[in-house]
Amino acid sequence: MKFYYVYKALAHPEHNGYVTPFTLKERLLHVKEARRTLGSQIPWICDTMQNDAKHALGNAPNSEFVIGPDLKVLAKRLWSDPAQLRKDLEQFVGKVDKPTRVSDLKLKTLPPPKAAATGVVKRLDLPGRLQALKIVPQVKDGGQPFYAKLRAEAEPSLLREGKGKLYLGFHLDPIYKVHWNNLTRPIKVTLQPPPGMTLSKTTLEGPKVKVESDVDPREFLVDVEAAEKGPLKLSVLYYACNDAGGWCKLLRQEYTVHLEADPDAGWARGRRPGGRGKRAGKKRGPFAAGANMGRIVAVDATGRTVTIITRDRKQTTYRIAKDARLMVAPRRPAELKDYQRGDMVRFRVEKSAKGPDVITGLMARRGKRAKRDP
């Protein structure tokens, strides 16, 4: 048997400070960093920048596959299950006399790098659930790395109806061990909207910070009205410093932001509407307080609709958003075809000015069926 990790797109950018790589070289640096921090000797397979392996393997963030010598898939699941994996291997290969335990591996895990202080600049209070957008950094051959990387997100109403808030966050990439230089002018962002798009601001400037350096994100919210969903041009001017290398650089870098969802951009774990911090550890998502409850009456996986009857006996047909978070308890990723008539569900709904309201999060409890692999 041979075991491999597959490096795919980050499921949770910002976890431990790591952000989405922009180049294959940076992805390979992430693999190297994973070996260092996890202490594991299992080899890695690095996906392409087009995420070919991720798409071919079903797009699940923590999937697991057992492949036979003839390259046929013998077992698979959307969410890794170590106990079930051991049963699979016992079935295909046979039991071992002395099973390896995690403690036997004596892994020497290490913390992620830290170039400067955190918790200096207060994070933004977000308006609610946001959807990551497709961005294209203008990477130049032989040019400077994007030490600060953009993450763009939008309210679902902006994508559906052309009106809503746009989040722009610039996160320092820990693989470069850099920090902000707060002794000079702060980060400056210039936005160039296409015809038909109106922004509440076209020039953004970061905060003036009292401490000399930090690595906290620089975040902005912009109100957008877009009659046409053309791409938004963006340039950013900032200083990045590396103490070990003894340098500070002034950089001007550019992006194109598309008002369309990026299914490979992951979900920034630790955020929650109305703020972050201590509250971020509380229960959230489709099973958070305030979610709707009901029972599925009908599912149309092709038309992406679901009919639900709630406790007050009100029956409604909803559209399922393309980026909806679909889950089966206990927190297993699912597809719309996995839901069945009679499933008890909790769900999040957003009002729509066009057609039926839209479900953005759906979680089903299935009793014994919840224990099966999706």
**pLDDT per residue as tens, the chain (374 positions):** 899 999 999 988 998 899 999 999 999 999 999 999 888 889 999 999 999 999 998 888 888 999 999 999 999 988 888 889 999 999 999 998 888 887 788 788 888 888 999 999 999 988 877 899 999 999 998 899 999 999 999 998 999 889 999 999 999 999 999 999 999 999 999 999 999 999 999 999 999 999 999 999 999 999 999 988 889 999 999 999 999 999 999 999 999 999 999 989 988 865 544 344 334 444 444 445 457 889 999 999 889 999 999 877 889 999 998 878 888 876 678 888 889 888 889 898 888 777 788 898 899 976 444 344 33
CA–CA separation, 278 vs 290, rounded Å?
Answer: 20
Which residues are 308's β-sheet partners? 296, 316
Q: CA-CA distance, 315 to 319, in Å (whole number)?
A: 14
C-beta of residue 332 within 8 angstroms of C-beta of residue 283:
no
Query: What contacts 87, CB < 8 A, 6 or more positions away?
Result: none
What residue spans of 228-321 are helical by DSSP H?
none
Domains of the chain: 5-105 (no CATH), 131-279 (2.60.40), 285-371 (2.40.50.320)
* Pairwise CA distance, residues 309 & 361, whole Å: 16
As beta bridge partners, residue 192 has: 233
Looking at the DSSP assignment, which residues form a beta bridge with residue 44?
5
pLDDT at position 205 is: 97
DSSP 3-state of 24: helix
Query: 219 in helix, strand or coil?
Result: strand
β-strand partners of 307: 298, 317
What distance separates the 2 farthest-apart alpha carbons in the chain? 69
Alpha helices in 59-108 (DSSP H): 82-92, 102-105
Q: What is the value of pTM for the model shown?
A: 0.75
pLDDT tens across 92-144, in order? Answer: 999 988 888 877 887 888 888 889 999 999 999 888 778 999 999 999 988 99
Q: What is the pLDDT of residues 157-180, one digit of tens each?
A: 999 889 999 999 999 999 999 999
| 54 touches 45 (CB < 8 A) | no
- pLDDT in the model for residue 365: 79
| SS3 category, 373 | coil
What local confidence, expressed as pLDDT, does residue 288 receive? 52
Closest of 167, 291, 266, 141 to residue 224, by C-alpha: 167
Residues 6+ apart with CB under 8 A from 126: 167, 221, 271, 272, 273, 274, 275
Gap between the Cα atoms of 84 and 26, Å rounded: 33
